[in-house]
Each structure stands twice: as C-alpha cells, then as structure tokens.
Amino acid sequence: MPSVAQTVRVKVLFFGRLKDVVGQAAESLDLADASTIEQLFARYSARIPELAKYRSSVVASRNQEFASWDTRLHSGDEVAFLPPVSGG
Amino acid sequence: MAPPLHHDDIFELVREPIDPRPLIQHVRAPEDGAIVTFDGFVRNQSHNRATLYLDYEAYESMALAKMREIGAQLHEKYGIHRVAIVHRLGRLEIGETSVFIAVSAPHRAAAFDACRFAIDTLKRTVPIWKKEYFEDGAVWADGELPPAPVATRGAKPAS
C-alpha cells in the first residue's frame, strides 16, 4: 500500500466576493492526488479563516462543470469556488 | 451518442454596449411567426440605495458553456427556431443593457415560454457576478445559489 500519495497540480479560481476574501483570483496549487474539493477548500480556510463562513453559500466547479464537494481532483483539473451568481 | 444538431444560435460575453438589432435580425426567419426578447438593464437603485454603476465579472469559459446549455434546453423543451443570448461584462452605467435574449419560434407561446426560461435559468446557473457601486461604497449583489450537485459517493457526477 503506498504510504505517500502522489502530488498533482491543480488550478484554483475564486470569483466575486471570494476573490476579495482570498486576495487573488487564480492560483496553481500542489496537492495529494485524489484530494476532494472539500479538502482543497479547507486548506484555504485554514490559511484564511474568514473564508470558512462562506462555505455554505459556495458552489464548486471542476473543469467548468458544477461539482459536488466530494469530487476527487486529479492532475490538471481546474477548480473554481463560486459565490451565489448574480448575472442578468 | 448522436452529434448535437447544429443550430445557428449566438452565445456571447461582450465588453462593449449590446446592440439588440442584429441579434433580433439573426434569429428572425421566414418559417417563424414570433420573436420574444428580454432586455435586462441597469436599474438606478438597489434596496432603496441609489446605484452609481455596476461592474460585472464572469467565469467566462464556464459561463459560455452554461449559456450554450440553456440554448440546447430551449430547443429540446420548446422547439424554438433560434436563440441569441448576449451578456455584457465590465462597468455598466444606469440604463445600459446587461443581458439581451432573443428567441424565435413558429408560434408565440413557445417563444414567450422559452425566453422566460432562458433568463430565469441564466440568473440561477450562469457564473456571472455583479458588484454594485454606491456613493458610500460597493457590495457584491446578493445572488442565487446554483443547484448543488449531490454527493457522488464514488460515482462520477452527472454531466
């Protein structure tokens, strides 16, 4: 059984007020292969505690498609954290 | 799976003012009997605060994909002829059009229903956000939560 997960690089995007909270719009990040979107968000929340309060109002996407929080991430994936949309 | 039918639809994100006339002209064809349009424009107030201007941003690649999805649904559900959906990004002044939708169909009922479905769905599912600027500051507009996919438990999310 492998004890160390392989590390992969994903692209992470923040929009709207989340971009303001995080202080950047996009970042490439290394994380363990098959990490979940939930784990990725938790990593940012640990760094930026204010982010945690938005968790219940955020929807995530993986490769431009809405994705559930238990979606597992792999090399080259593009993940975005989307606050409630307000177009129109 | 059969290849998607080709529809001569328009889905665009633009940074310049939207001119509705060529969009209406584009969807209009001899086999149609009705065009319904929706013109969404910037209101001069929000929750009784005077708005100065709005600034729109989008997750552009996903927003275009979601707009195309809406178009496909209009063909499938309402049997429309053509649709044009254009959303503007960047700074918009009071009275400027932020979104314009034109739907053509052989009969008016389908055109009305499809146009209503298009704007309602756009407001719920297309990743676009607006920041409202007031005399005393700016806020991100309260938005709508897209339907969240349910947990997958090992399954691939439906696409």
pLDDT digits over B90-140, tens only? Answer: 999 999 999 999 999 999 999 999 999 999 999 999 999 999 999 999 999
Q: What is the CATH number of the domain that holds B85?
A: 3.90.1170.40
Query: Which A residues 8-47 touch B at CB under 8 Å?
Result: 13, 15-17, 20
pTM for this prediction = 0.91
Q: Is residue B36 part of a domain?
A: yes
C-alpha distance from residue B1 to each of B15, B43, B73 (Å): 36, 44, 17
Q: Which residues pair with B12 in a beta bridge?
A: B86
* Torsion on CA atoms B15, B18, B22, B26, rounded to nearest 10: 70
Q: Are strands B45-46 and B49-58 parallel, antiparallel or unpaired?
A: antiparallel
Q: Work out the average pLDDT over A70-87.
A: 97
| Total domains, chain B | 1
What's the complex ipTM? 0.93
Is residue B23 exposed (0-12), middle (13-18) or buried (19+ Cβ within 10 Å)? buried
Q: Is B9 within a domain?
A: no
Give the model confidence (pLDDT) of B34-63 as tens digits.
999 999 999 999 989 999 999 999 999 999
What is the least distance, in Å, from the CA of A46 to any CA of chain B?
A: 23
- The dihedral through the CA atoms of B20, A85, B158, B116 has a sign that is negative
Instruction: Give how far A82 is from chain B: nearest CA, Å.
Output: 7
Tens digit of pLDDT for each residue in A20-75?
999 999 999 999 999 999 999 999 999 999 999 999 999 999 999 999 999 999 99
Per the structure, the complete domain to which residue B42 belongs is given by: 17-135
Within a domain: residue B108?
A: yes
The full set of domains in chain A, from first to last, is 7-81 (3.10.20.30)
Assigned domain for B121 exists: yes
